[in-house]
Chain A
């Protein structure tokens, strides 16, 4: 079972910031938070990941709360091409594990003109 909870769907206006929340209240101290997205019928695309500090790359920013029980993915200026299913994944710890990704249902983000 997925260890994360995400809203089923969200809308965002084109050009505005999209803030996608994720709850992971049972996260362990050494588990990372990963975000992927999947545009219809394509393979999931890696976006960003983090452990405890906020992270930023060319695609997005990841804000993790101090207690690490929740996080927010921020797409600063959403475009129509950002319409996709966004998955928040808590990555299994390192020792003796494949690091398999456990996907939940994700959040369907619809960016509207």
Chain B
């Protein structure tokens, strides 16, 4: 157990809807990264939040957005859902921000299905 929690565990949405996924980081961790994992693929980096600011972004469109709160928990929002957004969404927390060698610890993920 890493102490990183995510909610909900599973979610089913229809195309065009909006979704919010939540992540609580491990105690003492102030950086949260989000990843998308399509079936049969490795996780792909979406973005990272450090001290409530976006600290880097992968190759994902603007309809993927996020927030980080003062308690370091985070949300991932996806607007105008598409069928290809169906995936396992993972968040990972890190103890210190901005240091690439800090280990990322992953939560269990949220399985999103878009119909």
Contact = CB atoms under 8 A, between A and B. Distances in A.
B90 A99 contact: no
Interface string A72-113: 000000000000000100011110011111111110000000
A29 interface: no
A104 B43 CA distance: 8
Interface residues of B, number: 30
Interface stretch (A18-26, A38-46, A58-66): A38-46
A29 B35 CA distance: 27
A102 B45 contact: yes
Contacts of B107: 43
B33 interface: yes
B28 interface: no
A49 interface: yes
A24 to B, nearest CB: 15
B88 interface: yes
Nearest to B54: A98
A100 B56 contact: yes
18 contacts: A2-B42, A34-B103, A43-B4, A44-B106, A45-B106, A91-B101, A94-B99, A94-B101, A98-B45, A98-B100, A99-B98, A99-B104, A100-B45, A100-B48, A100-B58, A101-B43, A101-B92, A101-B104
